[in-house]
Amino acid sequence: MSTTPVGPARRAIVGINFGNAYASIAVVNKEGHADCIANEDGERQIACAISFNGEEVYIGNQALPQLVKNSQNTITGFRNLLGKRCVSAKGDFPEIESTGESRSAPVVDVNGEPGYSIQVLLPAPKQSLPASTRSTPAPTRPPSPPAPILSTKTLTVSEATSMFLATLRKSAEDFLGKSIEGAVLSVPNYWDQSQLDALRKAAEDAGINVLQLAAEEESTPEAAKAPHDRTSLVVDLGSSSLSLNLLSIKQSLIHPLSTLYIPGVGGDAIDDALIQHFAKEFTKKTKIAVSLPAKTPEDSRAEAKLRLAVEHTKRTLSASAGAASCSVESLKDGMDFSGTINRLRFDVLLATLYARISREVVTVLSSGGVEKEAIDEVLLVGGSAGLSGLTEKLELFFGESSRVSIRSDLDSSQLIAKGAVSQARILVSLPKDDPLHIAFAHANEVVKVTATTKPIGVDFPGSAGNIIPVIIVPSETPLPARRVVRLPVATGASKVAVEVWEGDQSLRDLPKEEKVKTAESDDEDEEEEDEEEPLREVIVTKSKLLGGLLVDIAAPTPAPAPTKKNSKVTAKPSFLEIKIDANIDGSVEVSSRQATEKDDGAWVSFSVGK
């Protein structure tokens, strides 16, 4: 019997990205990496849809085609209704109605909770045969089986959520070959406590042990595999909304700087633009009008068919730079439709949407007090964020020479699920009584994070200029924090003086690169120079001297005499090690010493209260 311990990489844990339109499941594979798995239908993006058709129940992508002819018994968009309550005697849900027109079963009041009233077929009750009084029964034809009974069934949003999550759990268990130990589920950062509680209960009713409900913007950086300090902008373009999250990530600790939530900007708006485009093209080709928004049942079915078809069109445009087709059988009045759209035309249709996203990025940066030049990376999240036109618009916004990295190399539809399972791996590796485990498990409670407001760095007396050359503790670093840097010491120095400064971040213009001009391009270059945005960089200038220290530098060990085998032996260089401890109460302790091979030199320290 093997006694090899089962580490976190081999535990049956999953991460679930439970979106309003699609969901995905991530596990830790045999190589120890987060990986999104496919369900029994081969889908990695699983539609959040449930449809009742007679005695059959379809869940996932199989339920979407039912929106064409069986929309009144098909349920979609139920995630965002979790935790909502009826607020009037009439059974109205004002918060729900504001989310837009429902394309599935209408929402009804079920004992104060949003739900659905659907038609299902139930098996007829078994009938007992009457006792016969004849000794030898006469041969008769066997009775026909009783027909199923049409019945009305009410289903709350919580019950629908449990049904759907149970299928995700089963898909994960079928893939892993064993019961899952626990799961981390992603949630929108704007959800209130009642919605979080409703999701946790629905997941537990589905047989899922919830390790944590993790905010989507905090799950995403876990999957980005960038451990260095950075300021990240998470652009989450979902089906029905846009979420922008500005994050300061220091030593894998995440500190939110600003958050913006914009409903009505998302994949549904992209679908609407494509549907309008192809509906006009169909009318132009066939002279058969398709009214949008739909005014007749025929138009409703045509819109539902187009909505299913453009999902494939959108995915094709996300994966390639060429044209994409849209084909619908019997779109209206028995007429088939087949059309194409190229990348240029598609980007023209979405120009207004891209411009809106750029404006909202300006808003979230301004709210967080961060200049765009200070952004290190942009993470695109959500099934609709993988469009190359959005990436190009963001690249244009930040500038071609910007140092920002727009992570188009990552699969935007899988980032949240991969980040969630990475978080689950951390949780199962901690003892249950560990303070971090307790904190993570209750992450749906509001936790206030203290962070530095200004950067702290060092300079050396006598240096020219007002710019701090070495930043040790960046601004917006979660506290407490310890940072250590190692700097080279000039040859022959016996003492090194160090000044510790608090600084202010600002921008300065960079000199423009001189271009070689030709006679033909003089006029064009003059026009480009007028429109060209100036290049700028972030600098930190001195604002407050925190203190200084003087460190004795021991003479380096003399180099051994060169030999025939080693004729290039030189003395080892000296280094100065500087350590800054920023405490949660605002005090700062600075220490410095000469770095040696054993790093056992005495620290020279001073403390300052802020």
- pLDDT, tens digit (0-9, with 9 covering 90-100), for 470-482: 889 988 888 888 8
- Note the pLDDT of residue 3: 38
User: pTM above 0.85?
Assistant: no
AA letter at 37: I
- Dig out the tokens for 244 from the structure: 């922008």
Whole-number Å distance between alpha carbons of 275 and 294: 12
Between CA 144 and CA 124 the distance in angstroms is 12
A 10 A CB-CB count for 566 gives 9
How many angstroms separate the CA atoms of 97 and 87, rounded?
13
**604 has which bridge partners?**
592
Partners of 591 in the β-ladder: 579, 605
**Residues listed for the chain:** 610
Residue at token pair 């087709």 = 325
Token pair for 211: 């390790």
How many Cβ atoms are within 10 Å of 356's Cβ, its own excluded? Answer: 16
Which burial class, exposed, middle or buried, applies to 245 when counting CB atoms under 10 A from its CB (0-12, 13-18, 19+)? Answer: buried
Q: Give, in order, the Cα–Cα distances in Å from 245 to each of 189, 192, 272, 367, 463.
A: 9, 17, 26, 11, 39
Ranges in the chain, pLDDT < 50: 1-6, 89, 91, 97-101, 444-447, 530
What local confidence, expressed as pLDDT, does residue 249 receive?
86
Question: Angle formed by the axes of helices 415-429 and 216-224, to 10°?
Answer: 90
What single letter denotes the amino acid at residue 67?
A: L
Burial class (CB in 10 A: 0-12, 13-18, 19+), 470: middle
Read off the amino acid at residue 346: F
Give the whole-angstrom CA distance, residue 233 versus residue 216.
13
282 DSSP assignment: H
Q: Is the Cβ–Cβ distance between 203 and 36 less than 8 Å?
A: no
Contact between 582 and 473 under an 8 Å Cβ cutoff? The reply is yes
Give the amino acid at 281.
E
One-letter amino acid of 391 = T
CA distances from 477 to 227, 357, 374, 547 (A): 14, 28, 14, 21
**Burial category of 263 from C-beta neighbours within 10 Å (exposed 0-12, middle 13-18, buried 19 and up):** middle
Name which of 572, 575, 571 is nearest 553 in CA terms. 575
pLDDT at 427: 84
Residue pair 342/323 in contact (Cβ under 8 Å)? The answer is yes
CA-wise closest residue to 541 among 459, 439, 604, 438: 459
Rg, the chain, Cα only: 31
How many Cα atoms are found within 13 Å in the side-chain-facing hemisphere of 406? 22
List the structure tokens of 167. Answer: 């299928």
371 CA to centre of own chain: 22
